[in-house]
DNA sequence: TAGGTTCACCTCATATTGAGTAAGACTCGG
DNA sequence: CCGAGTCTTACTCAATATGAGGTGAACCTA
């Protein structure tokens, strides 16, 4: 059988007993705290419970579906530049039978890093969406607790060996702001002097704009130099998390 | 319409035009070369082309589907212990429209590390499967070239910060054998003295059995001490690849 | 037995890190 | 306007990790 006649007699519906969705772990930093975008579910199952934003994949690539869902829930429009600075990467797929009580659903999870975005405005799909500190994001619907935990662990690791912390800041930032991103994601303070030395010593991590902030910090301190993201895609050597005591056994 | 209302009263057979498969990048080391398990496709599309082993997901978890496909293609039986030492992890999902000419197929790719396994025996499903040096694994069906490349990059990275190199060896191994695993996966020789020092200095990487090999190496040299895998799940500090010259920009 | 190979150590120079100190520049509250 | 407190930036110093190379003895094959 040649390929043409094979395709002609092929019935896709024969195999399709599985639905494919995308779920998005969208992270941002608000007031120095790492936050995740959640939606309130309106219908069964898990009605009233919070969940990660997501939905069915249409005739589009998987990452396009994730970006579309993110745009719909935040009320921001892709293509208008608002989501250009969002970093999006695939996290993994979750497809255990029974993870959705109605049918077999395989969900492709995505991880997004966003600069501080506005609170989703009412009046749209996004009305049910809001940012929640990751510490308070528990008891989510489906297996979204697991997906969120995996996303957080991935994010923490990514900050070690990639310059993606800059995806959480504005286009220009100070070393202190960058340090606060690391502190929020890792959940611990960093030694300011060593961090400063390290960031400037890794080639391609940041580049100076030659400018400084117009004012000092809110609580004092001198004007800080401004930087923008460099062209490195990997940090070498990496910026390792402070002593995780013993390595995971 | 949100996910919930969409799913209510949903008949998957009626609408779903998407199928879910698993594909497996199974790696092993044969004669000092990193090899991947490929199958020869017998049916359209891509009949006669080589492809990664894989197939449709049944009523089972995704990782179980991957292990089942691996077992079917190698002729080994899960549960009989032969596949117990195989490390299996999810690599990622590939779902671009058009990647399969028949219909929308989302494939969840898995990465497997196996000790040197026998050549798949004829007479079974596995008759069409064989190990191929990764250097010669090109022009695969579907987007399997991309999946393989992603798997190789993941494997190379995993060796840096996890003790998974031991998944390529037998239960007991010498430091030299372990070094050859790294050399095969990374594609470059390592400094024997420094490697030896490093492996023994990382807590939990390997533990001594107190035994030595019965004979020296085939080409000379003293009997080597034997080790088994330790209980660490992460290497700290990591065992970094030799200078990748400039970091990836 | 000769020659080459490998293992298990070792040294030494250089990088990198964690911790602490310090000089100024700046803010805010009084 | 003053003083207390904050923050940036830069420095030192010790401990640790890495890259390169060397040594002696065990062991193989020829």
Q: Which of A1, A4, A55, A56 to mutate to test the interface with B (most CBs of B within 10 A)?
A: A56
Minimal C-alpha gap between A222 and chain B (Å): 33
The pairing of strands A225-229 and B18-30 is unpaired
Determine the pLDDT at residue B4. 42
Higher-confidence position of A124 and B179: B179
Contacts 24+ apart (CB under 8 A), A237-240: A237/A202, A238/A160, A238/A161, A239/A159, A239/A160, A239/A161, A239/A182, A239/A198, A239/A199, A239/A202, A240/A160, A240/B237
In sequence order, which residues have a C-beta less than 8 Å from that of residue B1 and are 6 or more positions away?
none
Could you tell me which of A67, A69, A39, A65 has the C-alpha nearest to residue A140?
A: A39
Minimal C-alpha gap between A68 and chain B (Å): 13
Q: CB of residue A149 closer than 7 A to nucleic acid strand D?
A: no
Helix (DSSP H) and strand (DSSP E) numbers for chain B: 6, 9
Helix (DSSP H) and strand (DSSP E) numbers for chain A: 5, 9
Determine the pLDDT at residue B1. 39
Longest dimension (CA), chain B: 72
In sequence order, which residues have a C-beta less than 8 Å from that of residue A123 and are 6 or more positions away?
none
Give the burial string for B188-200 (b: 16+ CB within 10 Å, else e): eebeeeebeebbe
Phi-psi region of B87 (alpha: psi -120 to 50; beta: other; left: phi over 0): beta
Residue nearest to nucleotide D22 (CA to C1'): B193
- Contact across the interface for A55 and B102, Cβ inside 8 Å: no
User: pLDDT tens across B81-131, in order?
Assistant: 778 889 999 999 999 999 999 999 999 999 999 998 777 765 556 568 999
Q: Is the pTM of this model over 0.85?
A: yes
Residue A208 Cα to chain centre, angstroms:
26
Residue A5 Cα to chain centre, angstroms:
44
- Contact across the interface for A62 and B6, Cβ inside 8 Å: no
Determine the pLDDT at residue B125. 60
Q: Output Rg (C-alpha) for chain B, integer angstroms.
A: 21
pLDDT at A11 over 80: no
Q: CB of residue B237 closer than 7 A to nucleic acid strand D?
A: yes
Residue nearest to nucleotide D5 (CA to C1'): A220
Q: How far is the CA of B193 from the C1' of C10 (A)?
A: 10
Interface residues for strand C (CB within 7 Å) are A 191, 193-194, 197-198, 201, 215-223, 237-240, 242-243; B 174-176, 192-194, 196-197, 200, 212, 217, 219-222, 224-225
| CA distance readout (Å), A221 to A92, A113, A176 | 43, 29, 11
State which nucleotides on strand C lie below 7 Å from a protein beta carbon.
3-11, 16-22, 24-28
Q: Residue A122 gets which letter from DSSP?
A: T
Q: Output Rg (C-alpha) for chain A, integer angstroms.
A: 21
Q: Which DSSP helix (H) or strand (E) runs through A198?
A: helix A192-201
Minimal C-alpha gap between B134 and chain A (Å): 25
End-to-end CA distance of chain B: 42
- Contact across the interface for A12 and B102, Cβ inside 8 Å: yes
Contact list, A96 vs chain B (CB under 8 Å): 61-62
The DSSP result for B190-242, as a single string, is: --HHHHHHHHHHSTTSEEEEEEE-SS-BTTB----EEEEE-S-SS-SS--PPS
- Contact across the interface for A95 and B20, Cβ inside 8 Å: yes
Q: Kindly state the tokens that stand for A9.
A: 């007699």
B58 touches chain A (CB under 8 A): no
B18 has which bridge partners? B104
Determine the pLDDT at residue B247. 45
User: pLDDT tens across A177-236, in order?
Assistant: 999 999 999 999 999 999 999 999 999 999 999 999 999 999 999 999 999 999 999 999
In sequence order, which residues have a C-beta less than 8 Å from that of residue B208 and are 6 or more positions away?
B225, B226, B227
Average pLDDT over residues B142-155: 98
A38 φ, ψ (degrees, to nearest 5): -125, 155
Look up tokens 């405005």; give the residue. A121
Q: Which of A96, A108, A204 minimises the CB distance to B61?
A: A96
- For residues B226 and B211, what is the distance between their CA atoms, to the nearest angstrom? 6
- For residues B233 and B19, what is the distance between their CA atoms, to the nearest angstrom? 34
Higher-confidence position of A29 and B42: A29
Contact list, A203 vs chain B (CB under 8 Å): 246-247
User: pLDDT tens across A55-81, in order?
Assistant: 999 999 999 999 999 998 888 777 777
- For residues B119 and B117, what is the distance between their CA atoms, to the nearest angstrom? 7
């Amino acid at each position: 059988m040649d390929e043409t006649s094979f395709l002609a007699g092929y019935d896709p519906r024969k195999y399709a007993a599985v639905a494919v969705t995308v779920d998005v772990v969208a992270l941002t930093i608000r007031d120095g705290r790492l936050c995740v975008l959640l939606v309130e579910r309106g219908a069964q199952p898990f009605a009233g419970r919070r969940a990660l934003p997501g939905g069915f994949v249409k005739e589009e690539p998987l990452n396009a579906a994730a970006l579309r869902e993110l745009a719909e829930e935040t009320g921001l429009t892709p293509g208008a530049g608002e989501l250009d600075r969002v970093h999006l990467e695939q996290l993994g797929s979750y497809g255990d039978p029974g993870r959705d009580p109605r049918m077999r659903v395989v969900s492709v999870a995505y991880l997004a890093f966003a600069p501080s975005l506005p609170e989703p405005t009412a009046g749209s799909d996004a009305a049910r969406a809001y940012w929640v500190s990751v510490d308070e994001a528990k008891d989510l619907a489906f297996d979204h607790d697991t997906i969120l935990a995996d996303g957080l662990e991935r994010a923490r690791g990514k900050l070690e060996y990639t310059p993606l912390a800059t995806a959480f800041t504005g286009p220009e930032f100070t070393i202190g702001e960058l340090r606060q991103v690391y502190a929020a994601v890792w959940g611990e303070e960093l030694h300011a002097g060593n961090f400063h030395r390290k960031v400037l010593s890794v080639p391609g991590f940041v580049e100076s704009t030659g400018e400084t902030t117009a004012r000092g910090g809110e609580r004092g301190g001198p004007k800080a130099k401004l930087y923008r993201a460099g062209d490195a895609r990997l940090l070498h050597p990496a910026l390792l998390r402070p002593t995780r005591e013993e390595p995971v056994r």
